Structure 1
Amino acid sequence: MVRAIFHTPSGERREIDARCGVSLMESAKAASVEGIDADCGGSMVCGTCHVHVSPEWLERLAPPDDMEAMILDCVPDPHPRARLSCQIVVTEEMDGIELTVPIAQR
């Protein structure tokens, strides 16, 4: 398990245990992180699991593929550090990753 820190739309700082080998979305849903709705269950069609990755962590992640980038163009409040949490697979190197759930997902 690694520690993932979510800043929620209501201003709460939530530290959760994220399982390696699964998506951040799955761990966030299991921990009931506010704003991670994941309406499509992680099939990358809804954008309701999008997060803003902190700058120091964004550069450590692989860039989004074309499909993810297309979905991110359609989310409310597009952001240059936006990612779909369903597309970020947790690794041990991600311990301490910080993400912000956009206010639009309140």
Structure 2
Amino acid sequence: MPKITYIEHNGTEHVVEVPVGLTVMEGARDNNIPGIEADCGGACACSTCHVYIDPAWVEKLPAKEDMEEDMLDFAYQPDPARSRLTCQIKVTEDMEGLVVQMPEKQI
């Protein structure tokens, strides 16, 4: 299981193992990590699982699909290069060491 580091806006780090096949959002939810609300449960129908991807990982992840791009318009302070919705990132073995940082708030 790959270890993913979730960093809260205040700098608190949570390093957890997330099973392959789950999403990065499910990994946060299942490990009670604050800062990812996931109001829609992973349906890509809100932006409350928004994170900033560590710059070293931006190019390593699959590209955003149109629906994710559209929902990021509703996120708090989206970054065109680094913002992603964690419900749209399926965990693979290649994601060992992935680092994501939560925004100040979810809207």
Q: TM-score range by the shorter chain?
A: over 0.9
SS at match of 2:78: coil
Identical-pair percentage: 40
Counterpart Cα distance in 1 of 2:32 and 2:39: 13
Compute the displacement of 1:5 (Å).
0.3
Deviation, 1:104, is 1.8
Gap regions ≥5 residues in structure 1: none
Describe how 1:10-49 pairs up with structure 2 within 5 A: 10-49=10-49
Moved beyond 3 Å, runs of 4+: none
Deviation at 1:10, TM superposition (A): 2.6
C-alpha distance in 1 between matches for 2:14 and 2:103: 14
SS class of match (1:104): coil
Secondary structure at the counterpart of residue 105 of structure 2: helix
* Corresponding residue number in structure 2 for 1:95: 96
Letter aligned with residue 103 of structure 2: P
Task: Describe the superposition over 1:23-62 as per-residue Cα deviations: whole angstroms up to 9, x where unpaired.
Answer: 0111110111111110000000111011100111110011
CA RMSD in angstroms, aligned pairs only: 1.2
Secondary structure in 2 matching 1:10: coil
- Distance in 2, Cα, partners of 1:50 & 1:56: 18
Report the count of equivalent residues.
106
